[in-house]
Chains A and B, each alone.
Chain A
Amino acid sequence: MYGNDIPEQPGHARLLDEVAAAERDLTGRGLGGDGTEGGADDYFGAVIAADGKIEPRDEMPEAYRKSLIRQIAQHAHSEIIGMQPEGNWISRAPSLKRKAILLAKVQDEAGHGLYLYAAAETLGVDRADLYEMLLDGRQKYSSIFNYPTLTWADVGAIGWLVDGAAIVNQVPLCRCSYGPYARAMIRVCKEESFHQRQGYEILHVLANGSPEQKAMAQDAIDRWWYPSLAMFGPPDTDSTHSAQSMAWKIKRFSNDELRQKFVDMTVQQAEVLGLSLPDPDLRLGEDGHWAYTQPDYDELFTVIKGDGPCNRQRIEHRRAAWEDGAWVREAATAYAKKREGATV
């Protein structure tokens, strides 16, 4: 139904291969192969050292548990809030085909949020409490979703750049030391690749359309490039959570390593589109990596603190959706109670 006619994205197959390899490693581990045969005193430390997986009811340091809850919840919130910038275009998609695709994509984001909330709940928290913390600002979501989607081309730029950056971030999480998070990430990454391709296709079509369409695509890239680079977080020198997360094997690569990987993949993809990245200082270094201009980290922190273009609007919308849906939740509960009574 949705015939696609776009060139293959370089680097893409390799990332998906990494997801498949992480999945094979999970299923291929030998009997009892958590590396701790013989009952080590420090079970947690032994599992981490052996590159094994920590599972929900295992003993684990309180700080590990807290750190995971913070990261997984923030990740889940990002998926849920992330539905809004694109949801904004569902009713105005340029064709029925694009509308169906965008609906499926936004539905996937809801699904990703739910996989992640489910993973967080295995650590002994309640989804309703996490949700409260999102709504009252105690927990954050990715700052990228506080930027507005001004034109249809923004939907393309989000798919290509924002989902592209998310994939680079998420693929290593498929090997994270916490089993439920790693398994959720494998599911998410497999689905995410459709998101990135549909965005790239939108931009490819616009780039080969009228001069106005091409200009619209370029404008979207100009606005989304630096916020996408900022998605990888502050530079390694300023990152507060990184070192401990790496030691626990939650994170596998530093913010700057992942950002570089994303830039290296994306430069060539932009060339294929015939569009440019808004960085006059992009240079291919002798080490094979692209030198690039850093995003404005002051802006990143301003947006994280709540003063981005759409912060208030995003949370307000979510709160309204939650409150407007109260009668549905109550009705379903009442119906379940009534039927339970009927069958006794």
Chain B
Amino acid sequence: MSWPLWEVFVRPRRGLNHQHVGSLHAADAEQALRNARDLYTRREEGVSIWVVPATAISASSPEERDAFFAPAADKIYRHPTFYEVPEGAEHI
């Protein structure tokens, strides 16, 4: 009998996103939060914690890495550096 796996996300301080820091086992969400506090924030590394059942995460497959992300690769016009700005134009 093994407790389910939870993925842990910590907001290091106000103004930053939650970041994935690792995983742990716990019987339920409440215990997962307490374990996450003890495991990942013993030195004030966070001001907020999310725990998510690992089975609830859908991930893109590494095997499809090229095909899946290909649509972004040939659209360099999405970056501001693609455009020529005439001499003398300011604040653009």
CB nearest neighbor in B for A129: B2
Distance (whole angstroms) from the CB of B41 to the closest CB of chain A: 11
Q: What's the interface size class on A, roughly?
A: 20 to 34
Docked pose: A220 CA to B3 CA in angstroms: 41
Contact A59–B25 (Cβ < 8 Å):
no
Docked pose: A275 CA to B30 CA in angstroms: 50
Q: Which of A58, A111, A127 is within 8 Å of B39, CB to CB?
A: A111
| Contact A114 B28, CB 8 Å, known A39-B66, A59-B62, A107-B42 | no
| Contact A340 B5, CB 8 Å, known A57-B62, A115-B22, A118-B22 | no
Docked pose: A76 CA to B80 CA in angstroms: 48
Docked pose: A182 CA to B92 CA in angstroms: 42
- Residues of chain B at interface, number, CB under 8 A: 21
| Contact A58 B28, CB 8 Å, known A108-B42, A111-B39, A111-B42 | no
Contact B23–A118 (Cβ < 8 Å):
yes
| Contact A335 B22, CB 8 Å, known A108-B42, A111-B42, A127-B2 | no
Distance (whole angstroms) from the CB of A242 to the closest CB of chain B: 28
Q: What 1/0 mask marks residues of chain A from 103 to 143 whose CB sits below 8 Å from any chain B CB?
A: 01001100100110011011000111000000000000000
Flag whether A19 is at the interface (Cβ < 8 A): no
Distance (whole angstroms) from the CB of A60 to the closest CB of chain B: 10
Contact B62–A58 (Cβ < 8 Å):
yes
Set of chain A residues within 8 Å of B43, measured between Cβ atoms: 191
Docked pose: A63 CA to B71 CA in angstroms: 35
CB nearest neighbor in A for B25: A127
Contact A329–B42 (Cβ < 8 Å):
no
Flag whether B24 is at the interface (Cβ < 8 A): yes
Set of chain A residues within 8 Å of B27, measured between Cβ atoms: 329, 332-333, 335-336
Docked pose: A335 CA to B28 CA in angstroms: 9
Flag whether B89 is at the interface (Cβ < 8 A): no
Q: What 1/0 mask marks residues of chain B from 25 to 48 whose CB sits below 8 Å from any chain A CB?
A: 111100100000011001100000
Contact A57–B61 (Cβ < 8 Å):
yes
Contact B39–A114 (Cβ < 8 Å):
yes
Set of chain A residues within 8 Å of B61, measured between Cβ atoms: 57
CB nearest neighbor in B for A190: B43
The 9 closest A-B pairs by CB, nearest first: A336-B28, A332-B27, A336-B27, A128-B2, A118-B23, A57-B62, A118-B22, A39-B66, A58-B62
Residues on B facing A (Cβ under 8 Å): 1-3, 5, 22-28, 31, 38-39, 42-43, 59, 61-63, 66
